[in-house]
Amino acid sequence: MPKIFSGIQPSGELHIGNYLGAVKNWVALQRQYESFFCIVDYHAITVPYDAADLRQRTRDMAISLLASGIDPSACTLFVQSMVPEHTELAWIFNSVAPLGELERQTQFKEKAQRQESVVVGILTYPVLQAADILLYKADMVPVGEDQVQHLELSREIARKWNVRFTPDGEPFFPEPKPLLTPTRRVMGLDGQAKMSKSLGNTVGLLEDPKDIWEKLRPAVTDPKRVRRTDPGTPEVCNIYHLHKAFSPAATVEHVAVQCSTAGWGCIDCKKVLFESMEVELKPIRERAGEVRSDPKRVDEKLAEGAARAQGIATETIREVKQHMGLT
């Protein structure tokens, strides 16, 4: 069975961008592939943070993933720092990863701008990411569009390592490819940047409906719709794109007509979106309540997942060391 791997940082709450771009796809694919889903806490320590907070956010992320429909009996769900082989392989990959490519990564340039003194970890993030994926020899990685560039680098790292250490045989590591959803890039409601945990422009997957509406109401729409009577262009409107993700096809068509003929004002359109979101998010919120009420069970699931992941990880590291002349 082909393998998939994907990770999410416990750098904040799971938001609708993460859900539509990645996690919803994980749920859809978890039974079709041998699946590994990882809460990547080692990736989340390259920005200032509070230790107790991180532990809480890691647990909250596990709860959100389970509530979204990740089923630990169908896939392997675990926390990265429980499987130290991730950092071991990352160091090994440091010896083949090209510095120039790391410096060219868009995310590095953006995140470096936000740090006064830039830490090495945000530069080498894609090396650890390559290790995360290749430790399980995953063929495909369901992610949002922002990760496509990092995955190109993962493929290059796999290629370089294979050529250097297994030149004659079958390639040891596969070259992992991205698996994108139709909603591969969800914008923040201010329309300024992609929705990101670290930018504080998110709509939380488990957020209270009242708070979601408070965020939707002032959200940016087509700037040409200044007056209620101005017709709009659905394709340039973030709200329309969210309709495409949450509303049934007939509603999406209706929204497009109402927008382009000024039949509805933007608030009418947002009210319908809110209702569609509730249909999908309410059951997730309710499941989260159930999952949260049994924290011991969450810990057990994560421990089981880590043990399963580690079984594979130790074997990969053993083989890698053998090929590299390490003891």
Q: Which residues bind ligand ATP (CB under 6 A)?
A: 6, 8-9, 11, 17-18, 21-22, 143-144, 146-147, 184-186, 194-198
For ligand ATP, the closer of residues 14 and 92 by Cβ is 14
Pick the closest to residue 191 from 223, 246, 238 (CA basis). 238
Handedness of CA 136, 93, 320, 159 (dihedral sign): positive
Minimum CB separation from ligand ATP for residue 313, in Å? Answer: 21
Minimum CB separation from ligand ATP for residue 95, in Å? Answer: 25
> Using an 8 Å Cβ cutoff, are 150 and 129 in contact?
yes
For ligand ATP, the closer of residues 107 and 260 by Cβ is 107
Q: Which residue is nearest to ligand ATP (CB)?
A: 21
SS (H, E, C) 232-267: CCHHHCHHHHHHHHHCCHHHHHHHHHHHHCCCCCHH
Minimum CB separation from ligand ATP for residue 16, in Å? Answer: 8
For ligand ATP, the closer of residues 11 and 162 by Cβ is 11
Q: Catalytic amino acids?
A: 111, 194, 197
> Using an 8 Å Cβ cutoff, are 8 and 27 in contact?
no
> Using an 8 Å Cβ cutoff, are 274 and 212 in contact?
yes
Minimum CB separation from ligand ATP for residue 22, in Å? Answer: 4
For ligand ATP, the closer of residues 178 and 265 by Cβ is 178
Over the range 59-78, which residues count as b (16 or more CB within 10 Å of their CB) and which as e? bbbbbbbbbbbbebebbbbb
Handedness of CA 316, 23, 21, 123 (dihedral sign): negative
In single-letter form, the type of residue at position 36 comes to F
For the chain, where are the alpha helices, taking DSSP H only? 16-18, 24-29, 51-68, 85-94, 99-104, 106-113, 120-134, 148-165, 209-216, 238-246, 249-260, 266-292, 295-324
Tokens of 189: 């409601």
For ligand ATP, the closer of residues 197 and 270 by Cβ is 197
**Count of beta carbons in the 10 Å neighbourhood of residue 177:** 15
Tokens 């957020």 belong to residue: 207
For ligand ATP, the closer of residues 198 and 260 by Cβ is 198
Minimum CB separation from ligand ATP for residue 226, in Å? Answer: 27
